Amino acid sequence: MNVSYRKYTEEREFWPYCDAICSSKFIDIKPAGDKLYAATQYFHDGEEGVLVVWNDSVSTQYKKIKTKSSTAIFPKLCVHGDDVVFFWSEYIQDYKKKGSSNWVLHYCSLNNSLEKHWGIELEGDVFVTDLCSFDGSIFAICENCCGNESRIIILEILNNGEYKKTTLSEGNIFAKRARACIAGDKLAVAWDGYGPDGYDIYYCEYKRKEGLAVSRVTSGKDWFLNPSIVSNDNGDIYLSFIKSVDVARDGVIGRAETVCVVFVDNGLFRHIKGPDGSDSVINLYMGLLPAERYFGYVGLRRNPQLSVNGDGSGVLLTWEKHRSEEEIWDNVENGEFMCLELDKSGAGNTYILHSGGNSFTRLVKKQNGFYYACRAERKDDIDIEFFKMQIEEKDKIELPYFEKWDGWKPVDLGKYEKLEAKGEKIYWGDLHCHSMHSADAEGFADELYFYARDKAHLDFSGITDNDYYYDTVFTYSESMYIESVCRAISEEGRFICFNGFEWTFYEKGSSGNFNHRSVVFYNEERRIARRSDKTGNSFDRFIFTMKDVKAEWHAHHAVWKLSDHPSDNNVEITSAWKVNMEIADTVGQHLDKGMVFGFMGSSDNHRYIPGNSGALTGVYASELSRKGLIEAFKNRKVYATTGNRTILNFSVEGIAMGGIVKDAKDILHITLSIDGRGRSIDTVQIIADKRTVVKEFKLNDSKFTKRFQIENKGYKYLYARVLLSGEYVDYPHNIAMAEGIYAWSSPVFLR
**Consecutive 10-residue averages of pLDDT for the chain (751 residues):** 58 52 84 89 88 84 89 94 93 57 87 80 92 92 93 88 89 94 94 96 90 91 97 95 97 96 95 90 92 87 94 92 86 90 92 91 81 79 83 84 79 75 84 95 97 97 92 90 95 97 78 83 89 88 95 95 96 97 96 98 96 97 96 98 97 97 96 96 98 96 97 97 94 93 98 94
Model pLDDT, residue 509: 61
> What is the SS3 assignment for 75?
strand
Model pLDDT, residue 98: 42
Q: Which residues contact 464 (CB under 8 A, 6 or more apart)?
A: 431, 432, 433, 434, 499, 500, 501, 502, 518, 519, 520
Tell the burial category of 510 from Cβ atoms under 10 Å away from its Cβ (0-12, 13-18, 19+). Answer: exposed
Pairing of strands 570-574, 551-556: parallel
According to DSSP, residue 689 is labeled: G
Q: How far is CA 492 from CA 125, 312, 460, 489, 625, in A?
A: 21, 51, 10, 10, 5
Model pLDDT, residue 203: 97
Model pLDDT, residue 512: 56
How crowded is residue 667: how many other Cβ atoms within 10 Å of its Cβ?
10
Question: In 3-state terms, the chain is what percent helix, strand and coil (to 5)?
Answer: 10, 45, 45
According to DSSP, residue 691 is labeled: G
Task: Tell me the pTM.
Answer: 0.96
Model pLDDT, residue 424: 82
